[in-house]
């Protein structure tokens, strides 16, 4: 599996480096049928010998595709069930647009997508998050120096 990961470091100047994952393991899977979501926590070993943990939230059309019977990418797959390979396919497909779990004191770029609770937000002003996650369910919220725009709710 090939997932390209961009790491940003903030010092006196911002430096961005692109590395690739050399090994990936699933640490946990949490499915919430009520909100039609699957949260997958992955551990990456990167080409620069560092590691990172990333949380993926599979929701909306990606959840529907994951739970469908015999989608075009996995003929013979049963409905309302998934295998590790199915999770990898969806994660690889959605990686660029996958919301990550919001984290305090973290640098975010414009168009980064995060979730907190059952809400998904898009970063519209880059900066560093504060200590309190966004909670708005419409419009925008300022968090540290980041401005988030509410995108969707993942269920009731």
Tell me what pLDDT residue 65 has. 81
* Distance in angstroms (rounded) separating the CA atoms of residues 94 and 68: 16
Structural domain for 121, as ranges: 101-153
Q: What is the DSSP code string of 118-143?
A: TEEEEEEE-EE--SS----SSSEEEE
Considering the domain architecture, whether residues 94 and 108 belong to the same structural domain is answered as no
| Residue 49 CB contacts under 8 Å (≥ 6 apart), including other chains | none
Considering the domain architecture, whether residues 86 and 111 belong to the same structural domain is answered as no
DSSP run (H or E) holding 151: strand 146-153
- The domain tally of the chain equals 2
Considering the domain architecture, whether residues 72 and 144 belong to the same structural domain is answered as no
| Beta strands per DSSP E along 47-112 | 51-58, 100-101, 107-108
* Distance in angstroms (rounded) separating the CA atoms of residues 47 and 51: 9
Considering the domain architecture, whether residues 128 and 88 belong to the same structural domain is answered as no
Q: What are the strands of the beta sheet with 119-125, ordered from one edge?
A: 100-101, 113-116, 119-125, 146-153, 140-143
Considering the domain architecture, whether residues 141 and 117 belong to the same structural domain is answered as yes
DSSP run (H or E) holding 15: strand 14-32
Q: Give 137's DSSP letter.
A: S
Considering the domain architecture, whether residues 56 and 67 belong to the same structural domain is answered as yes
pLDDT tens for the chain, 156 residues: list them: 445 555 555 555 555 566 666 777 888 999 988 888 899 888 878 777 888 888 888 888 788 888 888 776 677 788 888 888 788 777 776 665 556 778 889 898 888 888 787 788 889 999 999 999 999 999 999 999 999 999 877 654
Considering the domain architecture, whether residues 76 and 11 belong to the same structural domain is answered as yes
Tell me what pLDDT residue 24 has. 78
Tell me what pLDDT residue 56 has. 84
Token pair, residue 53, equals: 């943990």
Q: Is the pTM of this model over 0.75?
A: no
């Amino acid at each position: 599996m090939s997932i390209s990961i961009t790491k940003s470091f903030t010092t006196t100047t911002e430096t961005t480096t692109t590395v690739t994952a050399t090994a990936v393991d699933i640490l946990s899977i949490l499915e919430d049928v009520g909100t039609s979501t699957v949260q997958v926590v992955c551990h990456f070993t990167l080409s620069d010998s560092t590691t990172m943990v990333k949380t993926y939230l599979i929701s909306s059309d990606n959840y529907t595709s994951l739970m469908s019977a015999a989608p075009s990418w996995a003929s013979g797959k049963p409905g309302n069930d998934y295998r590790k390979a199915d999770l990898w396919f969806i994660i690889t497909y959605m990686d660029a647009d996958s919301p990550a779990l919001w984290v305090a004191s973290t640098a975010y770029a414009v168009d980064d997508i995060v979730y907190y609770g059952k809400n998904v937000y898009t970063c519209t002003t880059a900066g560093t998050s504060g200590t309190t996650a966004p909670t708005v369910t419409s419009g925008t919220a300022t968090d540290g120096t980041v401005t988030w725009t509410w995108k969707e709710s993942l269920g009731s």
